[in-house]
Amino acid sequence: TEIDWKAYMEEVEGFANGTLDYTQLKGGTGPLVYPAGFVYIFLGLYYATDRGTDIRLAQYLFAGLYLLNLLLVFRIYCRTNKVPPYVFFFMCCASYRIHSIFVLRLFNDPVAMAILFLAINLFLEEHWSWGCLLFSLAVSVKMNILLFGPGLLFLLLQRFGLLGCIPKLCICALLQVVLGLPFLLVNPVGYLTRSFDLGRQFQFKWTVNWRFLPEEVFQNRAFHVILLLAHLAGLGLFALHRWHRSKESILALLKDPAERKHASPPLTIVFVLFSSNFLGVCCSRSLHYQFYVWYFHTLPYLLWCTPTTKLAHMPKVLLLGVIELCWNTYPSTVCSSLSLHICHGLVLLQLWYGTAPPPALHTPPPSRRPAAISKKAR
């Protein structure tokens, strides 16, 4: 199970030997396709594990990362106070696939997600600048973190307005420049095209979510465009009707918060970020087995953030179990991929209808009849 770990070590070994041309950094599974933050973090692991040969030590380090990740996730859930305690058992003990991604396969996805959850903790504490810095660091490890980006942009606009949002975005951009600077100075085009390649083709044999499609449809560019449009439409609908709760137009987010006519009700930071990411996962061109960690720890919140009766708990637990079963089916099948989409669709429907704003209360017009005067008043 060390194929990816060996490839990671081969990729950063070139950097350790002085190679700064990103197009020349390669491993057993192909060229390096992650941003510069990945190189620095796994270079540290490269030296810590005797040039990548001490895999047992690497697994111990990732076990520690797994526990730290759980601690950060639990802290977020404690702040939201939405999920019943027994669900944490399933998050800790019931996912063979997540344990494999962290401790057996040593993927870079868990590293990016742990940094992301630390950033969300900072957002919850109102440390927005530090949170943006760590969010950008997570993006520099793996680009899937950008799926949280639309939600974060909405939160920054809601919290600071357009002008106040710009410095936070500059923090994100500046860190990317600083981390990539050694490679940008040598071959800027090579670095940007390799580390931020949004048009990369995925192999059909590894897909978990689109197995029921013919391979020619899966590889068709028109299919990718449809998924992108569906993603943008979903983000637009949620931004307009689920994230935005003020009586003003959504364009009022561009104003300074002090200049807005109506104060926005308190936003659930976690709901905006988690739903933004989930929409991206649902519309992904392909989900590989290690991508499960992109949203596994957010699923309990997405399922329990809406009002729940006692009888509705079991269907939600069942939904978690079916999703887990789909991700543990290897290789994926027509049935498992269809079941995964059905589960995703049910979660989306619950998020849409369960978080609908309450209908406006119409106060009855005042009666023209004079109010009766009590005897005491007389």
pTM: 0.92
CA atoms 325, 326, 330, 333: torsion sign: positive
pLDDT in tens, the chain (378 residues): 567 899 999 999 999 999 999 999 998 888 999 999 999 999 999 999 999 999 999 999 999 999 999 999 999 999 998 899 888 888 888 888 999 999 999 999 999 999 999 999 999 999 999 999 999 999 999 999 999 999 999 999 999 999 999 999 999 999 999 999 999 999 999 999 989 877 777 889 889 999 999 999 999 999 999 999 999 999 999 999 999 887 888 888 888 888 887 666 666 899 999 999 999 999 999 999 999 999 999 999 999 998 877 768 889 999 999 999 999 999 999 999 999 999 999 999 999 998 887 665 554 555 555 555 554 444
CB neighbours of residue 7 within 10 Å: 16
Phi then psi for residue 31, to 5 deg, are -70, 160
Tokens 């305690």 belong to which residue? 85
Burial of 150 (0-12, 13-18, 19+ CB in 10 A): buried
Kindly report each contact of residues 369-375 with a partner whose C-beta sits within 8 Å and lies 24 or more positions away, as own/partner.
none
Cα angle: 249, vertex 251, 256; to 5 degrees: 110
CA atoms within 13 A on the CB side of 86: 4
CB neighbours of residue 73 within 10 Å: 23
